[in-house]
Chains A and B, each alone.
Chain A
C-alpha cells in the first residue's frame, strides 16, 4: 500500500503510485463511466474466417483515461484491441462489421498532425490505415524492437511520417525516451543495438517508439506478460504516468495489474462484453455474476 497522504494537493504534487490510481479515479468520478468517448464502438462483430470472435459489442473508450480489457483467453479482448487500429488487416481471414469511430476529441492538442481532430470511421473501407495507425499506436505482448540501434528504433516512426532535421530528430528521440523513462539508462549508448537491452528496457523502448509519432491513443496488448516482476512494475508506473496525457487501452490477464493501472475496466467473456465501468466498481461491486466469479478467481 502507498502511504496515506494528508491532503489532496500533497497527493498530486508527489504523484502517487499506481496502487492508488483506481481508488482516486473512483473517488473523483464515482462509479459512472465518463461521458466523453475517444473511441465509440457499437454493434461490433468480428470474424476469423467463419468463426465469430466478437458478438454485438458496444463500448465507449473514454478520452485521457486508462481502460483495461480483462477476461479469460479467447474472449475476444485482443481481437477488439487490434481492430481499433486495424492491425487485424494483416490476418487474411479477419473481417469485422459495425460502428467504430475515432472521435475528434484531442486533449493533447499540442501535437500537430494532418488527421488529428477529425472524426474517423475506423472500419470504413477507405480509411487511411497509415494515418489511423499514426493516431493510434500499439505496443505488443512481446518486446519487438527492430534489430537496429536504440536511436534508429525510436526514430523509425518519425522518419516515416515527419520531416525532421537531424537536430529535431535528436530532440524528438530524447523526448520520447524520457517519456518512456528510459533516457537515463540508454543516453550513453544510443547507437548500440536495441537487442542488447533487457526485456523490460526493450518493452519501454517499444513504448518510446510508439509515442515518438505523437499518437492520441496507445493500445497495449498484455505489455507485461513476457516480463519479470521488477520490469512489470516499472512499466506499470510508466502506464500510470502516460495515462495522464494519453488515452490508453490495455489488455491484461493480470487482474491486480488492471486494478493498479486502469481507471475503467471492461470484462469480456466468450466474445461478448459482460460488464464495463469504473475499475473500483468492477473489482468491488460487480453487477454481473460472471464478472464477480472472474475477478474473485473462481474461473479463468
Chain B
C-alpha cells in the first residue's frame, strides 16, 4: 500500500514556512491577550492613582471622626457615615446570612426523595400500579418546584439593585400602607414601644424649653393657658408656671426656666429609646439593612450552594451509613466542611452590600446632614456610598477632595474584608 499523497510530497521548505507562520500567530495572540489583560489593570491603576492624588491631602483623623459640615468643609468628616454603614451592614448580615445559608441547605441537602414519598403510602390505600403513577407525578412535581426555586434565585442575582430599592421601599418603608401612611411630624403608623411624645414649649429663659407629656389621642399642638405639670429636658418633673404678658417677669433663672408665656403653643416632640419600634419601618436604617439583605441574598445562597456542592458525596454517605439523619449529616459533616467556602462567599457579599448606593438612595434619600450614627432602631442613617455620591456632586474643590478621600476609606474597608475572606479560607482549609 502506498502512502497518501499529502504524506508523500517532498515540500520541506513550504512545511517549514508553515510551521514558522503558526509560531508567529501563536506569539501574536499571546501578545494580544497580555495587552487586553493589561488594559483592565491600567484602568484600575489610573483610577486608584487619580483618587489617591486627589484625596491624600484630606486623609486625616478629622475625616474619620468629624461629621459633614456645610459651613466648614475643611473640617468635614465621615464618622456618621462609617457608623451608619456599620449598622446597616450589621442588620444585613444578621438577616441575609441565616436566610441565605438556610435556603442553600434546603436546596442542596434536602432534595426531594422518593423514599420520603413512600411515607405517604401508609395513609393512602391504593393499588400498587395507581400508587406508582401518583408517586411518580408527585416526585416530578417536587423536583420541578425545587428547580423552580433554583432558577428564581439564579435570576434574582442578576436583578439591578435599584429594583430591590423600590421593592424595599414598598415592603419595609411603607409596608403597603397597611399600618397607616407615614407623615412627617405626626404619629407614624403603629408605634409599638420605646417612644414617649411631649408638647415642647419655649420657656422665658432663652433657648430653654419645658416638656408636657402627651397622651394617646391628644391633638398635635396645645395652647398653654394655666399652670400644669411638666418635665424639664433632663426629665425632672416640674410645675409649669404661666406668665401673663404685661405683668412683671420672674427674675430667677430657675424660675424663668419653668415659666411659659400665657397662650404659648407647644408642638410635638418625641423621645425614642434605642429599642423604639414601629410599623411600618419608615426611612430607617433597619429598612435599609433589610433591603440590602434582599440584594445580597441570592449571592449568599449561590456561594453557599457552591460550598456545599464541593463537599464530597462520600462524606454524606459515610454519615448516613452510620445512621445519622439528614439534619445530623448536614450539621456534623456538610456544614463544617463547607464553612471556608460559606465564609468567603458571605464576606464577599457583605463587601457588595457596603458599596451599594442605589437602594440606599431610594430608602434613606440623599440627605447627609445627620451628625451621628443611628440612635434607635427606626432612626435614619448616612452611609459611605451616599456621602461620596453627595460630595462628589458638589462644585467646590474641597468636596471633590473629600469625596476622593472617602473613596479611599471605602476601598480600604473593602480591601480589609476581602483579605479577611482569603485569610480565613486559607486558615480553615489547612485545618
Q: Is the CB of B314 within 8 A of A144?
A: yes
Q: Is the CB of B321 within 8 A of A87?
A: yes
A87–B118 CA distance with the chains assembled, in angstroms: 15
- B322 interface hit (Cβ, 8 Å): yes
A87–B316 CA distance with the chains assembled, in angstroms: 11
Query: Contact check: which of B320, B322, B333 meets A90 at CB < 8 Å?
Result: B320
Given A89-B115, A92-B111, A144 contacting B317 (CB threshold 8 A): yes
- B312 interface hit (Cβ, 8 Å): yes
Q: Give 1 or 0 for each of A123-147: 1 = CB within 8 Å of chain B CB.
A: 0011001111110011010101111
Interchain nearest-CB distance for B182 vs A (Å): 49
Query: Contact check: which of A97, A134, A140, A160 meets B318 at CB < 8 Å?
Result: A140
Q: Give 1 or 0 for each of A89-129: 1 = CB within 8 Å of chain B CB.
A: 11011110100000000000000000000000000011001
- B14 interface hit (Cβ, 8 Å): no
User: What residue in chain A is nearest B320 (Cβ atoms)?
Assistant: A90
A-chain residues with CB within 8 Å of residue B323 when the two chains form the complex: 130-134, 157, 160-161, 213
- A77 interface hit (Cβ, 8 Å): no
- B94 interface hit (Cβ, 8 Å): no
- B13 interface hit (Cβ, 8 Å): no
Q: Is the CB of A126 within 8 A of B119?
A: yes
Identify the stretch in B33-41, B64-72, B324-332 within 8 Å (CB) of chain A at 4 or more residues: B324-332
Interchain nearest-CB distance for B294 vs A (Å): 31
- Chain A-chain B contacts (Cβ-Cβ < 8 Å), number: 80
- A85 interface hit (Cβ, 8 Å): yes
B-chain residues with CB within 8 Å of residue A134 when the two chains form the complex: 322-323
User: What residue in chain A is nearest B123 (Cβ atoms)?
Assistant: A125
Interchain nearest-CB distance for A99 vs B (Å): 14
Interchain nearest-CB distance for B335 vs A (Å): 13
Q: Is the CB of B318 within 8 A of A146?
A: yes
- B319 interface hit (Cβ, 8 Å): yes
- B112 interface hit (Cβ, 8 Å): yes
Interchain nearest-CB distance for A225 vs B (Å): 14
Q: Is the CB of A87 within 8 A of B317?
A: yes
Which of A126, A146, A213 has the most C-beta atoms of chain B within 10 angstroms of its own C-beta?
Answer: A146
- A26 interface hit (Cβ, 8 Å): no
Query: Contact check: which of A92, A126, A133, A213 meets B113 at CB < 8 Å?
Result: A92
A-chain residues with CB within 8 Å of residue B322 when the two chains form the complex: 133-134, 137, 156-157, 160, 209-210, 213
- A258 interface hit (Cβ, 8 Å): no
- The interface residues of chain B, by DSSP majority, are classed as helix
Q: Is the CB of B113 within 8 A of A90?
A: yes
A125–B337 CA distance with the chains assembled, in angstroms: 32
A223–B318 CA distance with the chains assembled, in angstroms: 13
Given A133-B320, A210-B321, A144 contacting B113 (CB threshold 8 A): no
Q: Is the CB of A87 within 8 A of B143?
A: no
Interchain nearest-CB distance for A179 vs B (Å): 16
Q: Is the CB of A156 within 8 A of B321?
A: no
- B9 interface hit (Cβ, 8 Å): no
B-chain residues with CB within 8 Å of residue A146 when the two chains form the complex: 315, 318-319, 333
- A86 interface hit (Cβ, 8 Å): yes
Given A95-B114, A126-B119, A146-B333, A90 contacting B325 (CB threshold 8 A): no
Interchain nearest-CB distance for B320 vs A (Å): 6
Q: Is the CB of A93 within 8 A of B317?
A: no
Given A93-B114, A125-B118, A87 contacting B318 (CB threshold 8 A): no
- A206 interface hit (Cβ, 8 Å): yes
A146–B185 CA distance with the chains assembled, in angstroms: 61
B-chain residues with CB within 8 Å of residue A145 when the two chains form the complex: 318
User: What residue in chain A is nearest B114 (Cβ atoms)?
Assistant: A95
- B121 interface hit (Cβ, 8 Å): yes
A132–B119 CA distance with the chains assembled, in angstroms: 16
Query: Contact check: which of A90, A92, A131, A156 meets B332 at CB < 8 Å?
Result: A156
Q: Give 1 or 0 for each of B120-133: 1 = CB within 8 Å of chain A CB.
A: 11100000100000
Query: Contact check: which of B111, B314, B315, B328 meets A160 at CB < 8 Å?
Result: B328
Q: Is the CB of A137 within 8 A of B321?
A: yes
A201–B316 CA distance with the chains assembled, in angstroms: 20
User: What residue in chain A is nearest B139 (Cβ atoms)?
Assistant: A92
B-chain residues with CB within 8 Å of residue A132 when the two chains form the complex: 323
Residues 136-180 of A contacting B (Cβ, < 8 Å): 137-138, 140, 142, 144-147, 156-157, 160-161
B-chain residues with CB within 8 Å of residue A90 when the two chains form the complex: 113, 316-317, 320
Interchain nearest-CB distance for A206 vs B (Å): 7
A46–B114 CA distance with the chains assembled, in angstroms: 13
A66–B320 CA distance with the chains assembled, in angstroms: 23
Query: Contact check: which of B121, B317, B325 meets A130 at CB < 8 Å?
Result: B325
A-chain residues with CB within 8 Å of residue B319 when the two chains form the complex: 146, 156
Q: Is the CB of B113 within 8 A of A89?
A: yes
Query: Contact check: which of A87, A125, A131 meets B320 at CB < 8 Å?
Result: A87
B-chain residues with CB within 8 Å of residue A95 when the two chains form the complex: 114
Interchain nearest-CB distance for B163 vs A (Å): 35
Query: Contact check: which of A94, A97, A125, A161 meets B119 at CB < 8 Å?
Result: A125
Query: Contact check: which of A86, A156, A160, A161 meets B115 at CB < 8 Å?
Result: A86
User: What residue in chain B is nearest A93 (Cβ atoms)?
Assistant: B114
A94–B112 CA distance with the chains assembled, in angstroms: 12
Residues 30-63 of B contacting A (Cβ, < 8 Å): none
Interchain nearest-CB distance for A124 vs B (Å): 8
User: What residue in chain A is nearest B316 (Cβ atoms)?
Assistant: A90
Sorted nearest first, the 10 A-B pairs with minimum C-beta distance are: A144-B314, A89-B115, A133-B323, A125-B118, A157-B322, A134-B323, A138-B321, A125-B121, A144-B318, A130-B323
Would you give 27 A-B contacts (Cβ < 8 Å), ordered by A?
Answer: A86-B115, A87-B317, A87-B321, A90-B320, A92-B111, A92-B114, A94-B114, A125-B118, A125-B119, A125-B121, A129-B115, A130-B323, A130-B324, A132-B323, A133-B320, A140-B318, A142-B314, A144-B317, A145-B318, A146-B319, A146-B333, A147-B315, A157-B322, A160-B322, A206-B318, A210-B321, A213-B322
Q: Which residues of B contact A (CB under 8 A)?
A: 111-115, 118-122, 128, 139, 143, 312, 314-325, 328, 332-333, 337
